[in-house]
Chain A
């Protein structure tokens, strides 16, 4: 049975070219970039080149890039780093109720330390309203963090507008761009953000490596202390192979971006159209147009998400769900709830996220098997009609 991977928002397969680019740094070019000898210099050169490349792609300067262990670390260090550095200026942080847990839980940890956090609501499409950001700002506000695009429903937020509000009020603005970098154009100048998180494994790069962009002049307390790497902003010997891989993966992603957006969004549209045509009592989550090219998010009434996933998996299809039953916490997706969906509807959520290797053939196969699965589960459900 052919396996169909439709969970690209969770992670992507690393491109073989990227692995090839990394291999020398896992073998002979193993030097520590902080060493003065030729091994060290070789690694340092690769590190500098990767930094230059990534910086140029997102419109930043090389000294504005801090390499991290991934998106979660980038989010944590942005939020905690700013909060702790600006404690004397105020104790209020603004974020949204649909952020990734890396942001939400960082904020919650700060609440325990006496910070006040406003979790902004979103509309039915998952959009944060810039007016809400404006009216939430107080004299105490030191940081705003709103994600560029949501990982579950794919909605792309009005970051440039929110950034204007933040700048006007003199408040630092961070965006978690883990879902957008490498997928759609991302430029820190166009967006007007002060900080931005990105993660390599979301754009066909390696796991365990990411970056935080920090605009020049923005002071954040370092998260890791030690050997003074990353200009003292993130101690620890740099993950040279990972960083080389990340830079190359991003370079490739950007080179093929237009073509890829066209292809992937075409598949996505066919998938969404097909599902809504073939299955009734289904909702499409997220914004109809302001959405990530690869994201298709649904809620099927009267059925539960894990049951859908298990059935899809038996057919070789890999997806994900925001159902309470699939989460470790047994809470339904905070994103779907924030968008106003009742618990039992959120229960039937299915997220399929497409990527560069998917084909129309595969979409057709999904459209073939999904209606049967939903109908089988509905016939077992005590709710709704017995047949769909």
Chain B
């Protein structure tokens, strides 16, 4: 039921783990089936310098998590923001229809991590003004 690419990313997921001093963390749950993905990013010069994930979920959830980390590495934040669940699914040569919702998890976690980074950065900038 899964493509070879999905099985490859599921079996050998890239970038599994955590970034202890991450600049942004996105954690999202899949409302459909209850799975959870946590994504960590490190930002350098407006680009995603490093990215890691942890996922509690099905084969498609793990594979899309792995794929999204591959897709965003080195991308600018703006570019990364435009990565959709569809793009992740396509990069994996597609997902079964009933597993498309799993790819939302990866895209949402990525976007949440970027927003977290931006919020923190803006917060610090404001705090800086106060001095």
Residues of A within 8 A of B (CB): 302-304, 306-307, 310, 314, 323-326, 328, 330, 332, 343-344, 347, 379-383
Chain B residues with CB under 8 A of A303? 56
Size bracket of the B interface: 20 to 34
Closest 4 pairs (CB-CB, A-B): A325-B58, A382-B54, A324-B33, A306-B58
- A326 to B98, alpha carbons, bound, how many Å? 10
Q: Is the interface of B mostly helix, strand, loop or mixed?
A: mixed
Segment from B34-42, B67-75, B78-86, B118-126 that makes contact with A: B34-42
Q: Decide if A381 touches B56 in the complex (CB within 8 Å).
A: yes
Tell me how far the C-beta of B14 lies from the nearest C-beta in chain A, rounded to whole angstroms: 11
Say whether B62 faces chain A, with CB atoms less than 8 Å apart. yes
Tell me how far the C-beta of A307 lies from the nearest C-beta in chain B, rounded to whole angstroms: 6
A-contact bits for B1-45, CB 8 A (1 contact / 0 none): 010000100110100100000000001000011111110000000
Q: Decide if B55 touches A310 in the complex (CB within 8 Å).
A: no
Tell me how far the C-beta of A388 lies from the nearest C-beta in chain B, rounded to whole angstroms: 14
> Given B11, B34, B55, B62, which contacts A324 in the complex, CB threshold below 8 Å?
B34
Q: In the complex, which of the residues A323, A324, A325, A347 has the most CB atoms of chain B within 10 Å of its own CB atom? A: A325
Closest chain A residue, CB of each to CB of B10:
A310
Say whether B61 faces chain A, with CB atoms less than 8 Å apart. yes
- A303 to B10, alpha carbons, bound, how many Å? 14
Given A307-B62, A380-B13, A380-B16: A302 and B56 interface contact (C-beta under 8 Å): yes
- A381 to B58, alpha carbons, bound, how many Å? 11
Residues of B within 8 A of A (CB): 2, 7, 10-11, 13, 16, 27, 32-38, 54-59, 61-62, 98, 101-102
Q: Decide if B56 touches A306 in the complex (CB within 8 Å).
A: no
> Given B11, B27, B33, B38, which contacts A330 in the complex, CB threshold below 8 Å?
B33
Q: Decide if B35 touches A304 in the complex (CB within 8 Å).
A: yes
Q: Decide if A332 touches B38 in the complex (CB within 8 Å).
A: no
Q: Decide if A326 touches B36 in the complex (CB within 8 Å).
A: no
Q: Decide if B38 touches A382 in the complex (CB within 8 Å).
A: yes
Closest chain B residue, CB of each to CB of A324:
B33
Q: In the complex, which of the residues A324, A344, A382, A383 has the most CB atoms of chain B within 10 Å of its own CB atom? A: A382
Chain B residues with CB under 8 A of A324? 32-34
Q: In the complex, which of the residues B13, B54, B58, B101 has the most CB atoms of chain A within 10 Å of its own CB atom? A: B58
Tell me how far the C-beta of A336 lies from the nearest C-beta in chain B, rounded to whole angstroms: 13
Chain B residues with CB under 8 A of A382? 27, 36-38, 54-56
> Given A314, A325, A328, A380, which contacts B35 in the complex, CB threshold below 8 Å?
A325
A-B contact pairs, 19 of them (CB 8 A): A303-B56, A304-B35, A304-B58, A306-B58, A307-B62, A310-B59, A323-B58, A324-B33, A325-B35, A325-B102, A330-B101, A332-B34, A343-B34, A344-B34, A344-B56, A347-B35, A380-B62, A381-B55, A382-B27
Tell me how far the C-beta of B118 lies from the nearest C-beta in chain A, rounded to whole angstroms: 22
- A330 to B57, alpha carbons, bound, how many Å? 12
Closest chain A residue, CB of each to CB of B57:
A304
- A307 to B58, alpha carbons, bound, how many Å? 5
Tell me how far the C-beta of B2 lies from the nearest C-beta in chain A, rounded to whole angstroms: 8
Given A307-B57, A344-B34: A330 and B62 interface contact (C-beta under 8 Å): no
Q: Decide if A330 touches B98 in the complex (CB within 8 Å).
A: yes
Tell me how far the C-beta of B50 lies from the nearest C-beta in chain A, rounded to whole angstroms: 17
Chain A residues with CB under 8 A of B32? 324, 330
Q: In the complex, which of the residues B11, B59, B61, B102 has the most CB atoms of chain A within 10 Å of its own CB atom? A: B59
- A314 to B37, alpha carbons, bound, how many Å? 24
Tell me how far the C-beta of A331 lies from the nearest C-beta in chain B, rounded to whole angstroms: 8
Tell me how far the C-beta of B63 lies from the nearest C-beta in chain A, rounded to whole angstroms: 10
- A304 to B2, alpha carbons, bound, how many Å? 17
Tell me how far the C-beta of A342 lies from the nearest C-beta in chain B, rounded to whole angstroms: 10
Q: Decide if B16 touches A307 in the complex (CB within 8 Å).
A: no
> Given B2, B37, B38, B57, which contacts A325 in the complex, CB threshold below 8 Å?
B57
Chain B residues with CB under 8 A of A323? 58
> Given B27, B54, B59, B101, which contacts A307 in the complex, CB threshold below 8 Å?
B59
Chain A residues with CB under 8 A of B34? 324, 332, 343-344, 347
Tell me how far the C-beta of B28 lies from the nearest C-beta in chain A, rounded to whole angstroms: 11
Chain A residues with CB under 8 A of B58? 304, 306-307, 323, 325-326
Chain B residues with CB under 8 A of A310? 2, 7, 10, 59
Chain A residues with CB under 8 A of B59? 306-307, 310
Q: In the complex, which of the residues B35, B36, B61 has the most CB atoms of chain A within 10 Å of its own CB atom? A: B35
- A303 to B16, alpha carbons, bound, how many Å? 15
Q: Decide if A381 touches B54 in the complex (CB within 8 Å).
A: yes
Closest chain B residue, CB of each to CB of A306:
B58
